[in-house]
Amino acid sequence: MDGNGRWARKKYLPRLVGHNKGLDSVKRVIEYSIKYKISTLTLYAFSTENWKRPVKEIDGLLKLFSQSISSESKKIQNNNIKLKFIGDTSIFSKKLQNKIEIIEKKTIKNKGLNLNIALNYGGRQDIVNAVNSFYLNKKNKTTKITENNINDGLYTNGQSDVDLLIRTGGEKRISNFLLWQMAYTELYFSKKLWPDFDENLFVDALYFFQNSDRKFGAI
Whether 81 contacts 51, CB under 8 Å: no
Q: Is residue 114 part of a domain?
A: yes
The answer, yes or no, to whether residue 219 has pLDDT greater than 80, is no
**50 an active-site residue?**
yes
Catalytic residue among 4, 20, 50, 88: 50
Distance CA(117)–CA(121), nearest Å, equals 9
Q: Is residue 219 part of a domain?
A: no
Whether 2 contacts 168, CB under 8 Å: yes
Q: Which tens digits make up the pLDDT trace of 135-189?
A: 998 899 889 999 999 999 999 999 999 999 999 999 999 999 999 999 999 999 9
* 87, burial (CB in 10 Å: exposed 0-12, middle 13-18, buried 19+): buried
Q: Which tens digits make up the pLDDT trace of 49-99?
A: 999 999 999 999 999 999 999 999 999 999 999 999 999 999 999 999 999
Q: Across all residues in the chain, what is the average pLDDT?
A: 96
Domain that holds residue 177: 4-210
Q: Is residue 218 part of a domain?
A: no
User: HEC string of 73-130?
Assistant: HHHHHHCCCEEEEECCHHHCCHHHHHHHHHHHHHHCCCCCCEEEEEEEECHHHHHHHH
Q: Which tens digits make up the pLDDT trace of 88-120?
A: 999 999 999 999 999 999 999 999 999 999 999
Distance CA(187)–CA(55), nearest Å, equals 32
Q: Is residue 59 part of a domain?
A: yes
Q: Is residue 199 part of a domain?
A: yes
Distance CA(17)–CA(8), nearest Å, equals 6
Number of domains in the chain: 1
Q: Is residue 186 part of a domain?
A: yes
State residue 5's pLDDT score. Answer: 92
**2 an active-site residue?**
yes
CATH number, domain of 112, equals 3.40.1180.10
Q: Is residue 217 part of a domain?
A: no
Catalytic residue among 2, 114, 120, 126: 2
State residue 156's pLDDT score. Answer: 97
Instruction: Work out whether the CA dihedral 179, 40, 86, 173 comes out positive or negative.
Output: positive
Threshold 0.75, pTM exceeds = yes
Total count of residues recorded for the chain: 219
Q: Is residue 36 part of a domain?
A: yes
